[in-house]
Amino acid sequence: MQRWMLCLSLLLCSCPAGLPPSSRPDTTGGGDDLTFQYDVYVPSSTPDTSWLPVDGNPPQFDGPAAPGDGGAGDADGDAQVAAGDGTRDAGPAGDSTVDTQPPDTTVDQPPVLGAWVQANSQNCPNFCAGLGKVNVAAPDGPHCMSGERRPASGIAAGITFAYGCWPNCTAQGAFAATSSGQYCYSAGQKKDNDGTDRTVGCYCQ
């Protein structure tokens, strides 16, 4: 015991400013590089080889700051999250226009069809105009009919041959015929103004 105390006295006398400084890592300066902070150590009060800093606390190792904690010790290779602009793409704007036009309720009217009208010894354009209509061609061609110009459509409509027929009263095929005064003729027909040439019907529309 006395020998140990003597050695301790010699050490203290030869190192009045304390033992050579020991070092411990320190990262208080920030960054990835380790720097060293020097502390002064003195022998502990127990008879072993432990040494304590002058403040009496064991040395602590300050490691680098954890990635992502906002400290200066973040590694350069840490993944960085790019800040978004905070907006959301809403996609193309929809058409919000309200169609205020009323629906088309127009009903297509069927074409106005003409009709045969009994018209004895009449000029068909004038006769139809008196009815507020127009003298047009019947489906099988003629504008008028007589005892010699006998359209099937006129016979089917009930037109009668007030002046007789020649050579008979049967229906003829399709042909064209127009009024000539009170008579009805086809192109090339002999215009002898017989009673059978007199108009008996007009097609009006």
Asked if residue 106 is part of any domain, the answer here is no
Residue labelled with tokens 């095929």: 173
pLDDT digits (tens, 9 = 90+) for 89-135: 545 555 566 667 777 677 676 677 899 999 999 999 999 999 999 99
139-169 residue pLDDT tens: 999 999 999 999 999 999 999 999 999 999 9
* Predicted local confidence at residue 105, as pLDDT: 72
List pLDDT tens digits, range 65-77. 444 444 444 444 4
Q: Which residue has the tokens 């009323």?
A: 102
Q: Has residue 198 been placed in a domain?
A: yes
Give the dihedral sign, CA 67/73/74/76: negative
Residue 185 has pLDDT above 70, yes or no: yes
Q: Give the gyration radius of the chain's Cα atoms.
A: 63
CA distance 119 to 142: 14
| pLDDT score of 55 | 54
Q: Count of domains in the chain?
A: 2
Alpha carbon of residue 124 to chain centroid: 60
Q: What is the mean pLDDT of the chain?
A: 72
Place of tokens 């904690």: 69
Cα separation, 26 vs 58, in Å, equals: 14
Q: 85 in a domain, yes or no?
A: no
pLDDT of 79: 39
User: 14 — phi, psi (to 5°)?
Assistant: -80, -15
Residues 128 and 201 reside in one and the same domain: yes
Q: What is the DSSP letter of 21?
A: P
Instruction: Provide the domain limits for residue 158.
Output: 113-205
Query: Is the Cβ–Cβ distance between 153 and 138 less than 8 Å?
Result: yes
Percent of the chain residues past pLDDT 70, beyond the cut: 49
Residues 117 and 197 in one domain: yes
Averaged pLDDT for residues 4-27: 48
Domain boundary among 53, 71, 91: 53
Does residue 104 form part of some domain?
no
| Local confidence band at 175 (pLDDT 50, 70, 90 cut-offs) | very high
